[in-house]
Chains A and B, each alone.
Chain A
C-alpha cells in the first residue's frame, strides 16, 4: 500500500463516518456541520487523486455556499440547541433506495475496473481544463447554464409574490 492508498482509505472512512452521523444525529444544525466534514473529506480525496481544481471547486461550492445556505435557512426557521425528538421519519423506504443505489453503483464500479491500475494524467492544470470545457464539452456546459438560469428564474418567482403564480388573489 502506498501513502496515497492509506490517505484515500482514511479520508473515505471520515467521509462515510460523517455521512452516517449526518443521518443519525438528533441535532439539526450538527447534521449540517457533519455534512461539511463529509464534503471536506471528499475534497481531500480529490486532492489525493491530483485533481486540485475539482477539490477546491468542491470547497468553494459545497462547503462555502451550499451548506452555508442550508445552515442559514435552518437557523432562520427552527434550530434548537440540543436534540430534537421529532427528526426521524420511517427509515425503511429510504434505506432501501439509498442502500440499493449505493450497493448497485459500487458493484458496477468494482465490476468495471476490477484491479486495473489507472494512470494519473497531468495534475489538473487550468489551461488544459479550460480547453477541454470550451472545446470538447462546450454543449453540456451551455446546457448546464440553462439549468442554472431556470433555477434563478424559479427563485425570483417564488420570492416575489407580486409577480408569482396567480392564485386568484389580487396582490397588495
Chain B
C-alpha cells in the first residue's frame, strides 16, 4: 500500500471515530439515564427508540442564531471550541484499537504525548471564562482552572505507575505487557486515574466548573448554536478518550478471553471502552455534585497520596519480580 493511501485511511478512520463514538455515547447517556430514573428518554426522533435524537439536536443547533455578547472579546470567544476539541482528536490518533497496525500512529512516547496534549484543554476553559464577559463564566473558569491543574497531578502519577510496571511509554507496548493480575496490583492506580479523568473532563459528580444549579452553565454560559454544540461534543469526546485510556492502560486493551486477540482485538477494545463509558454515565446519575472544597480535598488528600503509594508499590514489585 502506498504511503499516502495508508495515511489517508488512518486519518479518515480516526476522524470517523472522533465524530461517531461521541454521538453513540451521547445517545447512550440519554437512554441509560432515562431508564435509571424510570423514564423512557427520547422515543420519537428517527422512529426506533429515538435513535436519531442527537442528529435532530445537531440540526437544531445549526439553525440557532450565533450570539456573541457585546462586552466579549470576540476572537478569543470564537476560538474556544476549536481549542476544546483539537486535543482530544490528537489523542485519539495514538490509541491502539488492536494488535499490530490497528492504531492511528505508533509513537514511542505515546503515553507522554497523551498527557501533554490533555494538559491543553484547560487553556480553552480559561479563555472561554474570561472572554465571555460574564461573572458566572469567570467563576466557572476559575473553578475549572483550579480543578484541572490540581487533578492533573494524580492523573499523571497514576499513568506513570502503569508505565513503570510495563517498562515502556508506548501505548501498544503497555497493552502487550499487561497481564490479568495487574487488575489487582494496579487497582489503586486504576481508581485514581478514572476519578482524575472524570475531573479532567468535568463530568458529574466532579463538574463544579459547570455546576448548572450554581453557575447557570459555568464557562459555557454564553455559548449558543454551533459553538455550544461543539463544546458539548468535546465533553462527549472527552468521555470516549478517558474511557479509551483507562481501557488501554489498566484493562488490557485488546486482550480478550478466547485467545483470538489478533482477529477480535478491536472488538474487545471497543467493548471495554463501552463498559467504562457506561460507568461514567452511571456515576453521573448516582452521585451528587461535590462542593468546590470537597473536590480539592479529594484531590490533594486522597488521590495524590494513593497515587504516590501506588508508585512505591509498583517500584517495589518491579524490583522484586522482574
Interface of A toward B, CB cutoff 8 Å: 27, 29-30, 33, 36, 52-53, 56-57, 59-60, 63-65, 67-69, 71-72, 75-76, 79, 81-82, 123, 125-126
Contacts and interface: CB of A to CB of B under 8 A. Distances in A.
A64 B76 contact: no
Given A56-B109, A64-B120, A72-B149, 15 more contacts: A29-B76, A33-B76, A53-B109, A56-B116, A60-B112, A64-B116, A64-B123, A68-B126, A71-B123, A71-B126, A72-B126, A75-B138, A81-B72, A123-B108, A126-B108
Interface string B108-132: 1100110111011011001101110
B119 A65 contact: yes
B180 to A, nearest CB: 26
Nearest to B163: A126
B120 A81 contact: no
25 contacts: A30-B73, A52-B109, A52-B113, A53-B112, A56-B113, A56-B116, A63-B119, A64-B119, A64-B120, A64-B122, A64-B123, A64-B152, A65-B119, A65-B152, A68-B119, A68-B122, A75-B129, A75-B142, A79-B130, A81-B71, A81-B130, A82-B73, A123-B108, A126-B109, A126-B169
B116 A36 contact: no
B149 A69 contact: yes
A125 B108 contact: yes
B133 interface: yes
Given A56-B112, A57-B116, A72-B145, A63 B123 contact: yes
Contacts of A30: 73, 76
B141 interface: yes
Given A68-B126, A76-B142, A59 B108 contact: no
A149 B142 CA distance: 27
A30 B127 CA distance: 9
Nearest to B127: A33
Interface string B280-291: 000000000000
A102 to B, nearest CB: 27
Contacts of A57: 112, 116
A72 B149 CA distance: 10
Contact of A59 (B72, B73, B117): B117
B149 A68 contact: yes
A126 B113 CA distance: 12
A59 B116 contact: yes
B115 A81 contact: no
A63 B119 CA distance: 8
Given A81-B71, A81-B131, A126-B108, A72 B142 contact: yes
A139 B138 CA distance: 44
A123 B32 CA distance: 46
